[in-house]
Amino acid sequence: MIFFEIIEYESIGSTNEEMKSLLKNGWMHEGMCIWTPRQLQGKGQRGNSWQSVPDKDLTFSILLKPPVHKKLSAFSILQMMSLAVVNYLERRIDGNDVLIKWPNDILVGRKKICGVLIENSISGGEVTSIVGVGLNVQSSLSDRQDLKATSIRQESGKLYSVRAELDELLGEVSKQYTRMLGNPREVLEAYQGLIYGKGKTLRFVENGSDEFQAVIKEVDSDGRLVLDRNGIEKAYLHGQIKIQY
């Protein structure tokens, strides 16, 4: 088990950035969690920003330092985290599928409810992983005006305390992290079973503008998305293609 120590900030630019600057001071240890109910300059994937509704959505970052001898890939942390979020959400939401849109968006039905931003650094052979999570908890459509996003409240009709949900989710992360250290293969298989669009024909965009259709075969152990494009299999890295959904 890993025990998380939560540091709360009333308001902050980005929890990932704050974790980075505290890391530079050298005293952050595994299990540190930076949480704020008001993140003002959240960072998303691919240089995008991450918007969250103050006091209604969950934004936090945790620090993980998996033992070097476990030889885990950066992708293992991502699988573990995605799995933890899905397991946690399945206890809150029923009726709609909770799935992982490769590589790390969590969808309910076809709407995004959570995004994960992992920033790894390696020094002296030691991997330090900053795992940032943005989860829509209480925000509603009128708060967001983004038709492709949803929240726990929107899906379940129930109100949840953001702070209590942080504890719940961290409990699941602790479970999945222990599982990953013991049996990374099992975590990969569970992740594979939750991939949005697996076995289906979807539309993709390559190099920002070239659209094509292909069938999702799997995500390989390096985290690449394997597609069957007109009978030819090809593996893509994150950033090379985007799923249109």
Spatial separation of the C-alpha atoms in residues 128 and 242, rounded to whole Å:
27
Residue 125 burial (CB count, 10 A): 7
Nearest-approach distance from CB 149 to ligand BTN, in angstroms? 10
Q: Which stretch binds ligand BTN (CB under 6 A): 8-16, 86-94, 196-204, 237-245?
A: 8-16
Task: Please tell me whether residue 139 binds ligand BTN under the rule CB under 6 A.
Answer: no
Is the N-terminal amide bond of 67 cis, ω within 30° of 0?
A: no
> Using CB under 6 A, which residues numbered 57 to 86 contact ligand BTN?
59-61
How much helix, strand and coil, in percent to the nearest 5, is found in the chain? Answer: 30, 35, 35
Residue of 37, 66, 103, 132 that binds ligand BTN (CB under 6 A): 132
Question: Of all helices (H) and strands (E), which one includes residue 166?
Answer: helix 162-182
Task: Please tell me whether residue 134 binds ligand BTN under the rule CB under 6 A.
Answer: yes
Nearest-approach distance from CB 71 to ligand BTN, in angstroms? 26
Considering beta carbons, is residue 37 or 42 the nearer one to ligand BTN? 42
Q: Which stretch binds ligand BTN (CB under 6 A): 3-11, 41-49, 71-79, 230-238?
A: 41-49
Tokens of 148: 């492709």
Q: What track of x and - describes contact with ligand BTN for positions 87 through 116 (by CB under 6 A)?
A: ------------------x---------xx
Tokens of 118: 């992992």
| Residue nearest ligand BTN, CB atom distance | 115
Q: What is the dihedral of CA 209, 211, 217, 221, to 10 degrees?
A: -10
Q: Which stretch binds ligand BTN (CB under 6 A): 90-98, 126-134, 148-156, 209-217?
A: 126-134
Considering beta carbons, is residue 82 or 95 the nearer one to ligand BTN? 82
Q: What Rg value do the Cα atoms of the chain yield, rounded?
A: 18
Spatial separation of the C-alpha atoms in residues 139 and 118, rounded to whole Å:
24
